[in-house]
Amino acid sequence: MDLLEYQGKQYFARYGLPVSPGDVADTVERAVEVARQIGAFPVVLKAQVQIGGRGKQGGIQIANNLDEVRQHAEFILNLIIKDRSGLIGYPVKRLWIEKASDIKREYYVSFTLDRSAKQYLGILSAKGGVDIEQVAAVEPEAIARLHINPLDGLTREVCTDWVKRAQLDEEANEGAVEVLLRLYDVFTKGDCDLAEINPLILTPDGHVHALDAKVTLDDAAEYRHPEWEAFKGVIELDGREKLAAEKGLQYIGLDGTVGIIANGAGLAMSTLDTVKQVGGSAANFLDIGGGASAETVTAALEVINTDPNVKAILINIFGGVTWGDKVASGIVEALGNVNLAAPLVIRIDGTRAAEGRAILEKHLNERVMMARTMVEAARKAVELAAKG
């Protein structure tokens, strides 16, 4: 789960990490009220979206008086922040408003897992505030990396050396060590996949604190963090993703026309690819897991039915531990429960696939078809989708 900036700051505060005082607003009026409460200008208004690059797109503004607050809040709350690809837009629904900090210097710090080294990786740079990947590419020497064995943790001694190596301003060293040690706690005790501050700032009076917060929580650890419940209501899922989550399905919405249902994440991904290969485009990723019971297939079809872009549906099942005939019976039962919004192509292979296909045979018609291989099934579904 990716936290919004203000949630990340709240999470930082739990572990004693200093952040600027501020509050969240979802209307222009509320923004003005928050600014009034802060009581000092300038204030910063920051769009709260689960994606980077908002600064370059006008999502961060400084206001020197209440009129400017009103004006900028109006502007930002009507923004749609685009992702890297430029294809997916995130409408801004919330602002974070905080007292503007005097900035002497901007640094960068993050903790994440280095999958190759199978250890934690800390990244610290005296050149923060901008795209750190750019810095890494152009000036690799400006980045101080630190591998941390989870068994050893981050000791004060190691952290102090690391900060020295990063060549921050001399007066920032002490404050940076404190922040880094606490951020490491956020990352480990707080079960984060990523804990990042960009920028981490040095103020003219020598304080070091987090001006931004980027936190990705590890969903697998939710069972030991009841406090995460509070973050969940706010995170925006698209309507279908929400419906799928309620039904316990792994669903990701995409923008194509072929609705996809498969058992297993690998097979589902592979089905998306195959649809693309034969000239179509997938409307979604949907993994129904190993069981593929009638209820699961019903739920999957219901979710896909709500997508108006879907012009054909492809069910791709490999009978492993769950046999093909059992899955086929489940599909037949599901077809009785749901009115299909688009024609359906089914491919069943693997254990007892022949028996499964025999069961489906009796239920085939101009809306429900079968194909022998994955490629054939994809071809047929793409053809149907093109006819619309």
The encoded tokens of residue 103 equal: 């900035």
Alpha helices in 233-318 (DSSP H): 239-246, 265-277, 294-305
* Residue 196 bears catalytic tag: yes
Indicate the residue among 107 and 184 with the shorter CB distance to other proteins: 184
Closest residue by Cα to residue 241 from 232, 231, 228, 250:
250
Verify whether residue 98 is a known catalytic residue: no
CA–CA distance, 382 with 352 (Å, rounded to integer)? 27
Nearer to other proteins, 44 or 297 (CB): 297
- CA separation for the pair 21, 38 (Å, rounded): 8
Q: Applying CB under 8 A, does 147 fall inside the site for other proteins?
A: no
CA 249 vs CA 179, 183, 273, 300: distances in Å: 39, 33, 20, 7
Count the neighbouring beta carbons within 10 Å of the beta carbon of residue 84.
9
Q: Which of 21, 321, 339, 388 contacts other proteins by CB under 8 A?
A: 321
From 40-48, 229-237, 312-320, 362-370, span contacting other proteins (CB under 8 A): 312-320
Binding letters toward other proteins, positions 70-109, x by CB under 8 A:
-------------xxx--x---------------------
Closer of 32 and 346 to other proteins (Cβ): 346
**Least Cβ distance, residue 78 to other proteins (angstroms):** 24
Stretch that binds other proteins, among 63-71, 157-165, 274-282, 299-307 (CB under 8 A): 274-282
Of 5, 98, 106, 196, which is the active-site residue?
196
Q: Which is nearer to other proteins, 118 or 367 (CB)?
A: 118
Is residue 282 involved in binding other proteins (CB under 8 A)? Answer: yes
Question: Between 42 and 350, whose beta carbon lies closer to other proteins?
Answer: 350
Exactly one of 37, 64, 65, 277 binds other proteins (CB under 8 A); that residue is 277
Burial of 172 (0-12, 13-18, 19+ CB in 10 A): buried
The residues that bridge with 263 in the sheet, in sequence order, are: none
**Minimum distance of other proteins from residue 374's CB (angstroms):** 5
User: Is 26 or 218 the residue whose CB approaches other proteins more closely?
Assistant: 218
In the complex, least distance from residue 259 CB atom to other proteins, rounded to whole angstroms: 15
User: Of residues 3-62, which lie at the interface with other proteins (CB under 8 A)?
Assistant: none
Helix axes 239-246, 294-305, angle to 10 degrees: 170
Which residue in 6, 11, 107, 108 is the catalytic one? 108
Q: Which of residues 149-208 bind other proteins (CB under 8 A)?
A: 149-151, 188, 191, 193
Contact by Cβ (8 Å): 232, 245 = no
Beta bridge partners of 47: 95
Task: Tell me which of 143, 267, 332, 338 binds other proteins, using CB under 8 A.
Answer: 267
Q: Pull the structure tokens for residue 254.
A: 């995409």
Q: C-beta of 323: minimal distance to other proteins in Å?
A: 9
Q: Which amino acid is at 65?
A: N
Please, what is the minimum distance in Å from the beta carbon of residue 280 to other proteins? 10
Residues 46, 199 contacting (CB under 8 angstroms): no
Q: Determine the Cα–Cα distance for residues 199 and 189; give it in Å rounded to an integer.
A: 23
Radius of gyration of the chain (CA): 25
Residue 194 neighbours by CB under 8 Å, 6+ apart: 110, 111, 112, 187, 214, 215, 216
Q: How many residues sit close enough to other proteins to count as binding (CB under 8 A)?
A: 55
Query: Tokens standing for 65?
Result: 């008086």
Are the C-beta atoms of residues 359 and 328 closer than 8 Å to each other?
yes
Residues that bind other proteins (CB under 8 A): 83-85, 88, 113, 115-116, 118-120, 133, 149-151, 188, 191, 193, 218-221, 223-224, 250, 252, 254, 262-270, 272-277, 282, 285, 287, 290, 318-321, 349-351, 373-375
Just list the catalytic residues.
108, 196
